[in-house]
Structure 1
Amino acid sequence: MNASLDLVYNMSSSLYVFDTLPELQQKLLLSIDKNPGIRYRELLRLINSSNGVLSYHIDRLEKMDLVIVERRARMTRFFPRNISNEIMGVMGFLRNQTSYEIIKLLYDRGPISQQEIINYTRKAASTISWHMKKLLDDNIVCIKDKNIIYDGNNDVGIKTQHKKLNLYDLLNRNIVNGLIYKTNNYIDSAINNYSDIMDSF
């Protein structure tokens, strides 16, 4: 039998063996394990089920403490039970195209300014600002340093004006290192099996 079919989950001192679950719940657990951070609508398409049926079985799995359900404004994501909050947070952002591009850019070139991020991604300044705020609020990105930019004439007797520019970097590069290149596509793409991801740490 495939190793993934031998999943055993521990809840309240009782063992819940994968094979004892209904077939649809088994399929849901395997789909979530292979696609950490998958959204509700993606999961609905993946298992080819009705909204009511999916909602019922997800509710059952959550009550049995077999999956982690992350609920945010207008978005719900699902994660395997054996995943840390830090990795879960990064995975959620890596499944968004713009956030992925920002994180990868910071991973490759950080610390850099927000203007450099705008230039590289070719996104509107307002779009990058919105995503940067989310990344900062969730402690994925931090302000690493301030770079002084000089303007004006440096000739003697002429006052030089300057301003400080925030430089951004990843807060935890080690976690990103284990995930960044395991994302197959951009928008809500499937990250490889969680077990494979953990093997890289």
Structure 2
Amino acid sequence: MSEDTAAELELPTRRAIYQRIVDTPGIHVRALFDDLDLAKGTVQYHLRWLEDEDIVEVSDDGEYTRYYPADSFDESDRQVLNALRRTLARRVLAYLAAEEQLTTADLADHLDKSNSTISWHLSKLQDAGLVEKHRDGRCVLYELTDPQRVRYLYTVYRASFTDRLVDRLFDLWESY
């Protein structure tokens, strides 16, 4: 970061927005203005400036535009964090991290959701390259493509997710 950029971060609002992005990589704009109690236009103005100055990077997860500190995460890490920022996707990833391979029906039972809802989320996770499926006879099993990366990123940013169910699943995995 150049000296000029550091000087621009002296603006309290801009510094607060940037710090929140550093602390919560993958945060989306609504969460920023809710968390910081700022007007939407103010947050958008500063985000645009931070992006134009290459201080933050943008990732679109299909549902939200998410923000990351520049040069801190590669595309695959952003994909993992994008998924971890969505509650149901995070829970699907947690069950797959804890149990390695599960069917849509297994996940639906664990999460008390319909098979179609779980199937939709698995499809999105598969499109993002986070989950792969394998056929075992008539059964389709899902597993994480890089379980260590998912576990690592969840562990590092655990405090920013605040999801007790997922915490218990990852604690279970760590106890092995």
- 2:51 matched to which residue of 1? 62
How far, CA to CA, are the matches of 1:97 and 1:57 in structure 2?
27
- 1:36 is displaced (CA, Å) by 0.7
Which of 8, 11, 18 is the aligned partner of 1:29?
18
In structure 2, do the counterparts of structure 1 residues 16 and 129 end up closer, same or farther at CA, with 3 Å as the change threshold? Answer: farther
Segment of structure 1 superposing worse, 93-102 or 174-183 = 174-183
* Bigger radius of gyration among the two: 1
How far, CA to CA, are the matches of 1:168 and 1:92 in structure 2?
19
1:45 aligns with 2:19: no
TM-score under structure 2 length normalisation: 0.82
Which of 148, 164, 172 is the aligned partner of 2:146?
172
What amino acid is the match of 1:180?
Y
TM-score under structure 1 length normalisation: 0.73
Structure ranking higher in helix proportion: 2
How far, CA to CA, are the matches of 1:35 and 1:62 in structure 2?
16
**Contact 2:27/2:66, CA 8 A, preserved across alignment:** yes
For structure 2, the 5+ residue unaligned runs are: 164-176
**Contact 2:61/2:82, CA 8 A, preserved across alignment:** no
- 1:46 is displaced (CA, Å) by 1.8
Deviations 1:128-150 (A, max 9, x none): 0110110000001011x3222xx
How far, CA to CA, are the matches of 1:118 and 1:16 in structure 2?
51
How far, CA to CA, are the matches of 1:16 and 1:165 in structure 2?
58
**Contact 2:5/2:53, CA 8 A, preserved across alignment:** no
- 1:113 matched to which residue of 2? 103
Q: Percent identity?
A: 25
Residue correspondence of structure 1 range 1-201 to structure 2 within 5 A: 9=1, 14-21=2-9, 22-81=11-70, 82-143=72-133, 145-148=134-137, 164-181=138-155, 182-184=157-159, 185-186=162-163
- 1:173 is displaced (CA, Å) by 1.4
In structure 2, do the counterparts of structure 1 residues 171 and 25 end up closer, same or farther at CA, with 3 Å as the change threshold? Answer: same
- 1:56 is displaced (CA, Å) by 0.9
- 1:159 matched to which residue of 2? none
- 1:19 is displaced (CA, Å) by 4.5
- 1:155 matched to which residue of 2? none
